[in-house]
A and B are shown apart, each in its own frame.
Chain A
Amino acid sequence: MTRGVARLLTFQLPLAAFLVFLLFPFYWMLVTALKPNRDLYNLALNPLWTWSPTLDHLRRLLWETHFLPWMKNTLVISVGATALSLATSLLAAYAIGRLRFRGSGVLGIAIFLTYLVPPVILFIPLSRIVSGLGLWDRPAALVLTYPTFLVPFCVWLLLGYFRTIPQELEDCARVDGASRLQVMRYVTFPLALPGILSCLIFAFTLSWNEYLYALVFLSSTDQKTVPVGLATELVTGDVFQWGPLMAGALLGSVPVALAYSFFVEHYVAALTGALKE
C-alpha cells in the first residue's frame, strides 16, 4: 500500500502533471477549433470545453483556403532542406573534426558564427541570389536558402558528437583495410546516430516553422507554406479567425509531432547503443 502511494506520488502524479503541461497547447488548439464563434467570445462559458462543437472551422480551413497545397509545399520544402543540410553537415563536420588540415579549428568556429547572423539581415542579399537563379516564387528557393541557417548549427552539433567517438575505432578499421569512406559509413556515422537524428529533428522543425524567407521568396497563394498561408488567409486586418487558425495550427503540428515521436525512439536506441560501444 505504502509502495503504491509512493509510486503514485513520485511517478504517476508527476508524469500526469508533465503530460498535462505538454499536451495542453494541443488540447487548447483542438477545443478552439471546435468552438463556434459565439462560444469563443463568451467569457461566461467554460473556456476548456464546448457543448456545441462545430466542424465549420475545419471545413473553412480545408475547403475555402489552400491548406492542403500549403501542407504539401511545407513537407516537400522541409524534407528537401533537411536532406540537403544533413548531407552537407555530415561531410563538413567530419572533415573539420577528423581530417587534420591547417585552419580546421578556425573554420569550425567560423561556420558556427554564421549561424548567429539573423535571417532579417540575410534575406535581401539572398533575394538577389534567388532572383538570379530564377527561383522566385518556387519552393526550390527555400530548399536552397534554409541550409544557410541549418548547416552551421548542424555542423556544430555533429562536431561535438564526432569528438566523443574515439579516434582508435577509426584507426582500427583503417588498419583492417577500410577506406576513408568505408570508415565513415560503417564506423563513424552509425556511432554518431544520436547526433544525426538530433540534427534531423532540429532541421525539419525549423524548416517547417520558418516564416521570413517563406514570406519573401514565395508569392502565389498556392505556393505558400503553412505558417505564411495561415497568416495571409486567416488574419484579416485585426480580426484573427481563431477557429480556422487553431485548426490549421493543430493539423500543421501533426507532421512535426510524428517526426519527433518516430525518431525519439530511434534516438534513444541509438544513444543506448553508442554508450554500449
Chain B
Amino acid sequence: MESARITRRRFLRDSARAASALALSAWGLQAGQKASHAQELTFPVERGASLRVLRWSQFVTTDRPIFEENARRFTQRTGVPVRVEYETWTDVQPKAAAAANVGSGPDIVIGFFDEPHLWADKLVPVTDLAEYLGRKYGGWFDVCPQYGYSPQRNAWIAIPIGAPGVALNYRVSWVREAGFDPDPARFPKTTDEFLRLCRALKARGHPTGFALGKAVGDGNTWVHWCLWAFGGRAVAPDNRTITINSPETANALEYARALYETMIPGVAGWLDPHNNRAFLAGEISLTNNGISIYFAAKNDFPEIAQDMNHAFFPVGPVGRPTELHLFSQAYIFSYTRYPNAAKEFLRWVMEDTQYGRWINGMLGYVSHPLKAYTNLTVWRSDPKALPFRDAVARMLPHSYAGRPGPEAARALAEFVIVDMFADACTGRRSVRDAMRAAEDRLRRIYRG
C-alpha cells in the first residue's frame, strides 16, 4: 500500500521527474519536428494536372485495391486525377518502348530491371526525390543506385519501387527425411552443403526442379545466382570486356550439372509457372520461386502450406550472397506535361503511410528498397515470409559486373546465361562449348 501514500518527499521526487520528463519530451518533439521539416519535400503540382500510370498487373489480389486506394487519396489531397493502367509484367516494356518512341503515353511507368536505361534521355531526372527518400528512410540498399542512377545523365532517372523476391521453396518434411534441418536459419548455407541436400532428396524419391527454359523470372534468377556464386560474370566492370569464358564460369556450370542430376526430367522446357505446378502437385521437393507458391498453397493446399518453408540461396565460393531478384522501378517520361505532379505522386506512393500499407497488403510479395522499411509489419506477421524481406539487400544487378543498360537488357531478354546453363546441363554442349557460345553472343551484344 506504500505506493498509494503521498508523502512530501515522494511528491517532490515525482514532480521533479515529471518536470524533467516534460522538458525532455518537449525538446525531443521540437528536435524531431525540426528534423522532420528538414526532411519534408513536396513538389508544386501544376494547375489542371492529371496522370496516367502504367504498371505491372497485380501478383496478389490485395495489390491493386491498395494501390488504387493510394492513388484515390492522392487525388483527394492534390486534386490530380490518376488513371492506372495494368499490363502483364513482361508486357510493360513494349508499351513503354512505344511511348518512348512516339513521345506520348503514360506519364509514369512502373517497370522492371533496366528499362529506364533504354530511354534514359527521355526521362525526367528524379535526383531530388531519390535523395529525399534515401535521407528520410535510412538510405537505399546498394543495388538501388545501380538501377536508378544514370551515369549518362549524371542523375537518378528512376525511383526503385522494390523487388518481387525469389527464395528457395522446400518441403519441410522431405528435407527432414533427407537428414537435414528444415529450419530456415539452419538450412544449407554453402553451395556444397546445398548440393548434398539435393542429392539426398533425390535419393529418397523427391527430386528438385529449377527452370532451364525461357523462364524470365525463375530461370534467370537461379542461373545468375549460380554463375556469380562461383565468381563467374558476363562482363567486366568496364561494360565492354566479355569475361564469361573463365574457370569460374566453368566451375559454376559443373556445379549446375551436378545439381541437374537431382532435378525432375523436363526442366529444360520449364517456363515460370511450371515449378509452381510441380511443387503444388508434390512432384518436386525444392525449387526457387517468389512467395506465390506459398499463397496458392494457403488458398487451395493448406497441408502443403503447412509443410513448406523458404530459405536464402546458399553462398558459393565467393563468400557473399549473389542473388538476383526481379527489380522494379518507376520512371517519368519527359513528354509529360505534369512532371511535378508525377514526382509528387511517386513521393506520395513511397512515403511510409502509403508504401507501408501497400507492401504489407501484398503480404511479402515485394521487398522494399529503402532500409527503414525493414521494420514493416509484414516481415513480422508470418515467419515463412521472412527470407523475402532481405531480397533487395542481398541482390546484385543482372548486369553485374557491368552497368544496367541496353546491352545488359538485351543479354537478359535473349536468355544468354540461361541458355548457357541449359546447354551445359542437358549435354547439348560441353561446358567449354557452352561458355564459348555464350561468349560469342555476348560479344555481338556488347559490340552493338
* Chain A interface residues toward B at CB < 8 A: 37-38, 41-43, 123-124, 127-128, 131, 136, 212, 215-216, 219-221, 231-233, 235-240
Contacts and interface: CB of A to CB of B under 8 A. Distances in A.
B42 interface: no
Nearest to B105: A136
Interface residues on B, range: 35 or more
A41 B87 contact: no
Contacts of A237: 59, 89, 164, 217, 272, 290, 292, 365
B205 to A, nearest CB: 15
Contacts of A221: 85-86
Given A232-B88, A233-B57, A237-B164, 6 more contacts: A219-B54, A219-B95, A237-B59, A237-B217, A237-B272, A239-B292
Contacts of B57: 232-233, 235-236
Nearest 7 A/B pairs, CB to CB: A237-B59, A238-B272, A127-B98, A37-B300, A219-B85, A41-B280, A127-B102
B94 A41 contact: no
Given A231-B91, A232-B88, A237-B290, A41 B300 contact: yes
A201 to B, nearest CB: 28
A232 B91 CA distance: 9
Interface in B343-369: 365
Contact of B101 (A38, A42, A128, A238): A128
Nearest to B326: A237
B85 A220 contact: yes
In this complex, the member of A123, A215, A221, A237 whose beta carbon has the largest number of chain B beta carbons within 10 angstroms is A237
Nearest to B215: A238
Contact of B104 (A38, A43, A131, A235): A131
Interface string B210-224: 000000011000000
Contacts of B89: 237
B81 to A, nearest CB: 14
B276 interface: yes
B162 to A, nearest CB: 14
B403 to A, nearest CB: 25
Nearest to A125: B101
Given A127-B101, A216-B94, A233-B57, A238 B276 contact: yes
Nearest to B217: A238
Interface in B274-304: 276-277, 280-283, 289-290, 292, 296, 299-301
Contacts of B209: none
Contacts of A43: 281-283
Contact of A136 (B104, B273, B277): B104
A220 B282 CA distance: 39
Contacts of A219: 52, 54, 85, 95, 105-106
23 contacts: A37-B299, A41-B277, A42-B281, A43-B281, A124-B101, A124-B102, A127-B102, A136-B104, A216-B94, A219-B52, A219-B54, A219-B85, A219-B95, A219-B105, A219-B106, A231-B88, A232-B57, A232-B86, A232-B91, A235-B88, A236-B58, A237-B292, A238-B290
A124 B98 contact: yes
B49 interface: no
B98 A216 contact: yes
Contacts of B195: none
A215 B104 contact: no
A238 B273 contact: yes
B437 interface: no
B35 interface: no
Interface in B96-123: 97-99, 101-106
Contacts of B95: 215-216, 219
B60 interface: yes
A131 B88 contact: no
A215 B85 CA distance: 12
Contacts of B164: 237
B289 A238 contact: yes
A38 B88 contact: no
A239 to B, nearest CB: 5
A42 B304 CA distance: 12
Contacts of A215: 87, 91, 94-95
A217 to B, nearest CB: 8
A124 B97 contact: yes
A139 to B, nearest CB: 16
Contacts of B292: 236-239
Contact of B102 (A37, A128, A238, A239): A128
B289 to A, nearest CB: 7
A41 B88 contact: no
Contacts of A239: 59, 273, 276, 292, 296
A238 B218 contact: yes
Contact of A38 (B52, B59, B300): B300
Nearest to B87: A232
B366 to A, nearest CB: 10
Contacts of A123: 94, 98
A1 B164 CA distance: 68
Contacts of B86: 221, 232
Contacts of A136: 104-105
Nearest to B85: A219
Nearest to B304: A41
B297 to A, nearest CB: 10
